[in-house]
Structure 1
Amino acid sequence: MEAIEKKYETIKDGKYKPKNCTARQKVAILIPFRDRESHLRIFLNHMHTFLMKQQLEYGIYVVEQTKGLEFNRGFLFNVGYKEALRDSDYDCFVLHDVDLLPENDHNIYTCPVDQPKHLAVASEKWQYNLPYTSYFGGVSALTREQYEAVNGFSNEFFGWGGEDDDFYNRVAWSQMSVYRSINDVGRYSCTLPTNLL
């Protein structure tokens, strides 16, 4: 972590603001986290470079769950959302798994104002295909208004699975549709190179 902090000295407390332009949106990247330190180091090293190239004003929020409890991804996103808003007036919230790395620089981390956006439509985990039509997991982006319209995630999903499908249903019930990046743009790697561990 010290090497990453030294490499990205312009980032303070997980936040970056471009010097030579004004970003259209302030973006909060929310990461539910527990027991994946090597994933987090690789993620931060990759994502800071990726996001800085896009000239985004952003903050990365790692929301860590206490050890010994069943993982509750949706609850951690809800906590991250509240904490990010206490910190700044973010327009866009990217809900991001720590083990997914975008492969294409054209995969822009902003939020359309009219509908939620699914960024990770072609993950290596699923042989770069969408596993099913209502899949809304991995990496998604919503505006503050959209997140509040769906009332965030349910806090009832412990362990792995189900919270993404429930979240997709909340979007549909709120009369919104999901915008999906095209496969070539929305490609994500999930296998960690051993030389980076």
Structure 2
Amino acid sequence: MYEPTNCQPREKVALIVPYRRRKEHLKIFLRYIHPFLQRQQLAYAVFVVEQFDSLPFNRGMLMNIGFKEAIKLDSFQCFIFHDVDLLPEDDRNLYKCPEDGKPRQMAFLMDIYDYKPAPNSYFGGVNAFLTTNFQLINGFSNLFWGWGSEDDDLYRRLLHHNLTVVRLSLMDSSLVQIARYTMLDHDLVNPNPDREILFKEGSYRQKYDGLSNLKYVVLKIEVTPLYTHILVDLRPKMPK
């Protein structure tokens, strides 16, 4: 946990980073994100949640696990869920807690897309929640194995609970350039073939699919100078 020495922050922020086999990305991310956050004089901790098993990657479930394990260790007022391959470019993109009922979409312009604004329905990459708001929506779905649609399902959960997504571009069009991110190069992955069906049926299972039915095995928790490493096995939740 980092805390600035020359001021008393009003809130503690947890960064949750889902991870598997991206060692070079993680090195770059950690070298970059710590100075970025410290310039903002935040009290924060970084949690890297690594999927150990050989199942398809489950980004949403790793986010949920990071949330669950982090709140066991400290009282975080908010969480920022952050892909390991995205780097914020502007210090004015503040990694502080959002307002109650207004989760924040932070990665709005990305270099890989020539900084064209993401659609208003996009809620992936990097987003911020008050702890209570993330609990309200029951977190991410645990059922999206492989790439795709877990962030769309999350966005629908927000709408279902009448939460309002905030983006800098909606607050003031002149601020849109602040939400610029660099995406690190990575291999393309095959999308989840069941993602459309899972998304279509998602509204019926929001209450029981998420934080409320999360099952996993923690293999190791190691606190290092730069992050807390949480190694997990997801096999207890593998679909039949």
Asked whether the equivalents of residues 34 and 67 of structure 1 are also in contact (C-alpha less than 8 Å), the reply is no
Aligned length in residues: 178
Q: Distance in 1 between matches of 2:168 and 2:107?
A: 8
1:190 aligns with 183
Quote how far apart the aligned CAs of 1:127 are: 1.9
1:154 aligns with 141
The superposition leaves residues 8-30 of structure 1 with CA deviations (integer Å, 9 ceiling, x where unpaired) of xxxxxxx2011111112100000
Q: Within the alignment, does 1:181 sit opposite 2:168 as a pair? A: yes
Q: Distance in 1 between matches of 2:118 and 2:105?
A: 13
Q: How does 1:1-197 map to 2 (within 5 A)?
A: 15-114=1-100, 115-182=102-169, 183-191=176-184
Q: Percent identity?
A: 47
Q: Distance in 1 between matches of 2:104 and 2:74?
A: 22
Q: What is the one-letter code of the residue matched to 1:130?
A: P
Quote how far apart the aligned CAs of 1:113 are: 2.1
Q: 1:42 to 1:177 in 2, by over 3 A?
A: same
Q: Distance in 2 between matches of 1:169 and 1:48?
A: 32
Rg larger in structure: 2
Could you say what the CA RMSD is over the residues aligned between the two structures, in angstroms?
1.0
Quote how far apart the aligned CAs of 1:126 are: 2.2
Q: What is the one-letter code of the residue matched to 1:51?
A: L
SS at match of 2:178: coil
> For structure 1, which runs of at least 5 residues remain unmatched after alignment?
1-14, 193-197
SS at match of 1:188: strand
Q: What is the one-letter code of the residue matched to 1:109?
A: Y
Q: Distance in 2 between matches of 1:125 and 1:57?
A: 31
SS at match of 1:140: strand
Quote how far apart the aligned CAs of 1:177 are: 1.1
Q: Distance in 1 between matches of 2:70 and 2:161?
A: 23
In the superposition, the TM-score normalised over structure 1's length comes to 0.88
In the superposition, the TM-score normalised over structure 2's length comes to 0.72
Asked whether the equivalents of residues 124 and 191 of structure 1 are also in contact (C-alpha less than 8 Å), the reply is no
Asked whether the equivalents of residues 104 and 186 of structure 1 are also in contact (C-alpha less than 8 Å), the reply is yes
> For structure 2, which runs of at least 5 residues remain unmatched after alignment?
170-175, 186-240
SS at match of 2:10: coil
